[in-house]
Structure 1
Amino acid sequence: MKEIKLEWLTLRNFMGVKEFTLKANGEDLKVFGDNATGKTTLFSAFTWLLFDKDSQNKKDFGIKTLENGKEKHMIDHEVECGLTVDNESLTLRKVYREKWTQKRGSSASEFTGHETNYFLDGTPLKKGEFNKRIETIVEEEIFKLLTSPSYFNEQVKWQDRRKILLSISGEVSNTEIFKSNNELKGLELILKGKSMEDFRKTVNARRKAINDELDRIPIRINEIEKSIPEGDGNVPELRKQVLQLDDEIEELQGQVSAIKTGNAVLTKQGELQKVEMEIHNLKRELESGSKDEVYRLRAKLQEEQSNLQTFQSRKRSAESQQQFNQEQIQRVEKSLSELRNRWQERSKEEFTHEVECECPTCGQELPEEKVQSAKDKALAQFNARKSTDLGNIQEDGKRGAAEKKKYEDEVARLQKEIDDLSEPIAAKEKAIAKLTEELTTVESKVQDASENQRYQELNETREHLLDGIAELKDRAEDAAGDIGDEITEKKAERAELNAEIARYANVNNLKERMQELKDQEEQLAAEFEKLEHHLFLTDEFIRAKVRIMEEKINAKFKFARFKLFEEQINGGLQEVCETVYEGVPYSSGLNNAARINVGLDIINTLSEFHGIKAPIFVDNAEAVTKLIDTEAQLISLVVSEPDKKLRVENIELEEAI
């Protein structure tokens, strides 16, 4: 087990303490002092040195010394301590100071911020290096848990306290819980591999669905009961009354028909039919023959016009392509002309070369053989480039000629296609002109029936007959209206009887549906009861798990006990984490002495679990007459009114005396 002991702790200008050295020598101490003499400041200085926080885990707190309520400037604020870690000594020192800078041209210094310097065994370190060295000794959170009896219960969130306790005791397996209670064995089969949380979600969702359905079923049954007519109802008698009304309605409708279709109307309608037949026959006689020829000629004309459009479209397409190819030929010819000019110009170029006969470095004349060699080399390069350029121009010319030939061949082909289309186009235009002339001649011979005198006389007779029929019917409408009202009343009476018959005919179906709903209600109620039992088993499972967890955790402590779940009004369980001592919760009602000893008990267990012993600072230690045993170094901070300055006693020496 790693053991950390405080050998000495020195404060200089820290939180009102001008200078004080606590000489612990790794032993248990009692530090006495009146209120505001600096007891708690010792612990804050120690935690600030290690972690930049005070004893209450606050990072933002006042370090500077105050004088008349104002900060004193230009002084260093320093904490230094000596530790032994597994009998290996080390010294830690941290200095917090103001930065004053004298700008160029100014005699006065200006405050420009603060800086913190870090030292390990007298060697200055960067902040990151210093923190890494502290981490090798102990993690910050573990150190706080092991050095303050109040930290676990008062500064750690209950969710994190719960995690710490579970990490100490270990998780409880489902198998362990099932073995603890025979009644839960059935639950293991019901779960079918599901997690307890998922199973409860499924059950609760199904319970809600069933509950909603059970709320709706009585409403549906009530609606069905309301729709069932009272009494059994005499359906045969009702049907007999309907048949009687059918006969009466039919008789009344016959009377109306007789009125509307009286003899006078029938006579006029007969005359009208004869006139309309004569009109139809006359029109057919006048228009027959010539009309058929008109239709034939129009169809033939449309066919020839369509064929002409097809030939014309093909010709326009060929002419468009022809124009494009001719433009391409012009483009290629222009390019070939430019190539010929380039070839002529390049072939006429002659070699010219000026050779420097003097050395550019020393100014002496160069030997004749060197001059001639340079000239020959330049001539060879000129001839090679000229030959290459002329060859490239010739190749471009060949490609251009081939491209021109391709377009010329295409022009010839398209011209033949255009010439071939001209003959059928001319033939179609001639045929269309001839058909148009024939159609005009035939249409002029068709006789318009509306211009025939006999046709006009028959139409006038038809109009007179229609007016006469309408006048006769208007007179009959008034008489038929009264009978129509009576028919409407009897139809309404018949509809009521049919509706009543339908209600009685549907009674059996309604009663069957009502029974189905009642059966469904019983089944859902039984399923709901079964789900309630499943939830009860899961609650029992959770309670068993709670009991085992709390037993395992509490077994790790001598005095402290822990409540990890709280029973709700509805019977459910809610996760909590409350420290309890002799039945009294830490957060309500537990006195300071018990709180301190419970905190020490927790530190003892955590120290054993992490394998680390660290100095414990017990603030307000005057509240305890006897602290429980602990193997770690103990520094008790005791309020003592007579001690206006801090006074230190060695606990072992005190006990020896």
Structure 2
Amino acid sequence: MVIQFQKLILKNFKSHRDLEVSFGDVTKISGENAKGKSSIPEALCWVLYGTDALGSKLQKETEPTPVNYDFDELKVELLFSSDDNQYLLGRSIVKGKTIYRRNEVSIKATEFDEIVRTLIGEKDLFLSLFNPSYFPSLHWETQRKLILQYVTAPANKEVFAQLPATQADKLAELVKKHSLDDLYEIHRENKPMQDKAYIAAQSRTKTLLEQLNRLPELNVDVEEAGAKITELEKQIEEIEKVTDSAGESNREHNEVTTKIKSLQERISESAKKWPNLRDEEIEDACRTCKRPLDDEAVEAVKADKEQRKEQYQTNHKALVEQRKALEVELKKLEYIDVSEQLEKIRMLGMEIQPLNESVNLHSQREQLEQQIEQARTAESATLASRNESTFILDAIKAFQTKEAELQATKVQDLFTTLSIRLFKQNKGDGELKADFEIEMDGKAYRKLSLSESIRAGLELRDVLSQQSGIVAPCFVDNTESITKFTQPNGQLIMCRVVAGQELKIETGEAE
């Protein structure tokens, strides 16, 4: 895209009541200070973007209005060509309202902005091409973006070729599934997690080893001990068959004996009651009111006594009969003494106990040894995971460093006198962080003299022009402060202070 300014018309713009500027390949604007030289490039920026030459939005849309005379309309029109097609754009202010025009026809602000974007370009890029002082005034991130958007980043294969084979092969395999950014996040999170897990795994292994060392050493053959336990348990089992059989018989014998004892106690209690009942006297007076009983009542008392004696004897006899029946049953039951067998079982149990302890100790040792093996395996796996994350993170850092070097080389190759820094290294972790710094002869741009900063700005804008493919007019201010500079591509507009001279505009061809 080739952009050429042909004519600029100013009506009531700042100090210019009516000014028409025609542009050539080279346009020289000179004059004393305060003669309106800077208003011309500012008007060019204002008509297109509503800003000054450094891209700052004016505090009020009416700021370009003159302050020393009255006016009805402030208007700026620019006749220009873009790729050999001619256009006329205008911006004006009438009673505080901004009006936008294309070919003298009013249009909406959004339509106007879209036309400017299409025919002239985005504001940051165009103003960087137009004003060499504009680009350095941008935030470093915007500067970096503008430079890098036209520089192709090094391909992964190109970077891998600069890395050690182990790092390159590992990353080349991993990037088939994940981006490098994702890999970095995955292993940045995994490494500290595995660091903690490794410490925990080491602690578990140590604890299990301490438990194993606290167990007494085995002094018996475990297989032999197991066989001996089996043999002794069989002996106990055979003896228990006898004791179990005797136990059923003895249980019946004990039950009958217990019943006999219980009946005997009831019989004894019953016998104690008989003398009182037998010797009970027959009263001839009422025991309650002491009134004498008649003969019929006395006979009733006697009859009651005889009935109670008869009932007692019947009950007592029944208890005695039950006892005799149980005594007969008891004689039929044999009580088997198994104390000798029980003692033998106890002795065999005592013989089994130390053998069981040895077998259990062996089982504990085996279990601990298995747990130790598992803990060591987990420890090794955790260490391997941690080491792999460390290796991958180091490889990614190496990749980023090489990528930055290659990218910086590509960018640096675009310049002749300037040095461009795209990255800086963190002091803490050594990681590369995006950065942007312009230097000339080892000096940062902000420390350059006026003439040096103009030359640096011109070189920057020419690089942007070449990379973007846009040839735009270039405005150089304060040319009296610089004796020699390389003429930029595109139209050149120069402003120069000449003491005691009125505003003068000259056009000519490029040298």
Confirm or deny that 1:125 pairs with 2:106: yes
Seen in structure 2, the aligned counterparts of structure 1 residues 61 and 178 have a Cα distance that, compared at 3 Å, is: same
The CA distance in 2 between the partners of 1:636 and 1:215, in whole Å, is 70
TM-score (norm 1): 0.49
**1:47-70 CA distances to partner (integer Å, 9 max, x unpaired)?**
111222222323343454799x98
Whole-Å separation in 1 of the counterparts to 2:64 and 2:145: 42
Q: 2: distance between equivalents of 1:190 and 1:649?
A: 65
For residues 74 and 5 of structure 1, do their structure 2 counterparts lie closer, same or farther at Cα, with a shift above 3 Å needed? closer
User: Relative to 1, partners in 2 of residues 1:145 and 1:542: Cα closer, same or farther, differing over 3 Å?
Assistant: same
Unaligned segments of structure 2, at least 5 residues = 221-256, 267-310, 320-355
Instruction: Tell me the amino acid that sits aligned with residue 566 of structure 1.
Output: K
Q: Secondary structure at the match of 1:48?
A: helix
CA distance in 1, matches of 2:365, 2:450: 79
Kindly indicate whether residue 204 of structure 2 is the aligned counterpart of residue 204 of structure 1: no
Contact 1:224 1:510 (C-alpha < 8 Å) held by counterparts: yes
Match of residue 300 from structure 1: none
Given residue 549 of structure 1, which amino acid in structure 2 is its aligned partner? Q
The Cα of 1:268 is off from its aligned counterpart by 9.6
What is the aligned partner in structure 1 of residue 155 from structure 2?
Answer: 173
Q: What is the DSSP-based 3-state SS (H/G/I as helix, E as strand, rest coil) of the residue aligned with 2:72?
A: coil
Mapped contact 2:79–2:88 kept (Cα < 8 A): yes
SS in structure 2 of the partner of residue 613 of structure 1: coil
Structure 2 counterpart of 1:152, from 87, 111, 135: 135
- Displacement of 1:79 in angstroms is 2.0
1:230-245 aligned within 5 A: 232=216
Map 1:286-435; keep pairs closer than 5 Å.
Answer: none
Corresponding residue of 2:307: none
Q: Does 1:559 align with 2:417?
A: yes
Which amino acid letter does the alignment assign opposite residue 177 of structure 1? V
Find the aligned partners of 1:552 and 1:19 in 2 and give their Cα distance. Answer: 48
The 1:230/1:131 distance shift into structure 2, 3 A limit, reads closer
CA distance in 2 between partners of 1:43 and 1:592 (Å): 19
The 2-side partners of 1:119 and 1:206 are apart by 60
Cα separation, 2, equivalents of 1:65 and 1:72: 14
Q: Report matched runs for 1:218-257 at 5 Å.
A: 218-221=202-205, 223-224=207-208, 232=216
Aligned to 1:14: 13
Deviations 1:271-330 (A, max 9, x none): 38999xxxxxxxxxxxxxxxxxxxxxxxxxxxxxxxxxxxxxxxxxxxxxxxxxxxxxxx
Amino acid at match of 1:79: V
Distance in structure 1 (CA, Å) of the matches to 2:455 and 2:263: 124
Cα distance in 1 for partners of 2:63, 2:149 equals: 42
| Distance across 1 between alignment mates of 2:121 and 2:479 | 26
Query: Contact 2:215/2:365 (CA < 8 Å) preserved in 1?
Result: no
1:618 to 476, 480, 484: 476
Match for residue 169 of structure 2 among 181, 186, 208: 186
Question: Equivalent residue of 2:5, what SS?
Answer: strand
Q: What letter matches 2:504 in structure 1? A: V
SS at match of 2:150: helix
**Partner Cα separation in structure 2 for residue 95 and residue 118 of structure 1:** 7
- Give the deviation of 1:563 after TM superposition: 2.4
1:636 to 483, 494, 500: 494
Q: Which residue number corresponds to residue 363 of structure 1?
A: none
* One-letter amino acid of the structure 1 residue matched with residue 135 of structure 2: F
Match of 1:575 in 2: 434
Distance 1:536 1:229, change over 3 A: closer
Counterpart of 1:628 in structure 2: which amino acid? T
Please point out which of 647, 651, 654 is paired with 2:503.
Answer: 647
SS class of match (2:420): strand
Deviation of the 1:564 alpha carbon: 2.4
In 2, Cα distance between the equivalents of 1:568 and 1:77? 53
What's the counterpart of residue 607 of structure 1?
465
Aligned CA distance change for structure 1 residues 167 and 133 (closer, same or farther; 3 Å): closer
Q: Is 1:93 matched with 2:90? A: yes
What is aligned with 2:5? 5
Matched, 1:76 2:67: no
| 152 and 231 in structure 1: CA distance in 2 versus 1, 3 angstrom threshold | same
Aligned residue-pair number: 387
Other-structure match for 1:345? none
Which secondary structure state, in structure 1, belongs to the residue aligned with residue 195 of structure 2? helix
Q: Is the 8 A contact 2:437 2:444 kept in 1?
A: yes
1:29 corresponds to:
28
Shift of 1:38: 4.2
Picking from 179, 183, 197, the partner of 1:213 is 197
Counterpart of 1:5 in structure 2: which amino acid? F
Q: Pick from 129, 138, 145: which aligns with 2:120?
A: 138
Indicate if the aligned counterparts of 2:54 and 2:131 stay in contact, CA closer than 8 A.
no
| Aligned amino acid, residue 4 of structure 2 | I
Letter in structure 2 aligned against 1:139:
G
Letter in 2 for 1:186: D
Aligned partners of 2:14 and 2:67 also within 8 Å: no
Structure 1 residues 611, 192: closer, same or farther in 2, change over 3 A? closer
**Change over 3 Å in CA distance of 1:32–1:179 after alignment to 2:** farther
Report percent identity of matched pairs: 21
Aligned to 1:290: none
Residue matched to 1:544:
402
Amino acid corresponding to residue 45 of structure 1 in structure 2: A
How far apart, CA to CA, are the structure 2 residues paired with 1:547 and 1:203? Answer: 24
Contact 1:567 1:574 in 2 (8 A): yes
Whole-angstrom CA distance in 2 between matches of 1:44 and 1:13: 14
TM-superposed CA distance for 1:630, in Å, is 0.9
Q: Point out the structure with the larger helix share.
A: 1
User: Paired residue for 2:262?
Assistant: 271
Are 1:233 and 1:504, in contact at CA under 8 Å, matched by a contact in 2?
no
Change (3 A) 1:269 1:225: farther
Q: How has the CA–CA distance of structure 1 residues 231 and 545 changed in structure 2, closer, same or farther, with 3 Å as cutoff?
A: closer
- Report the aligned-residue RMSD: 4.6
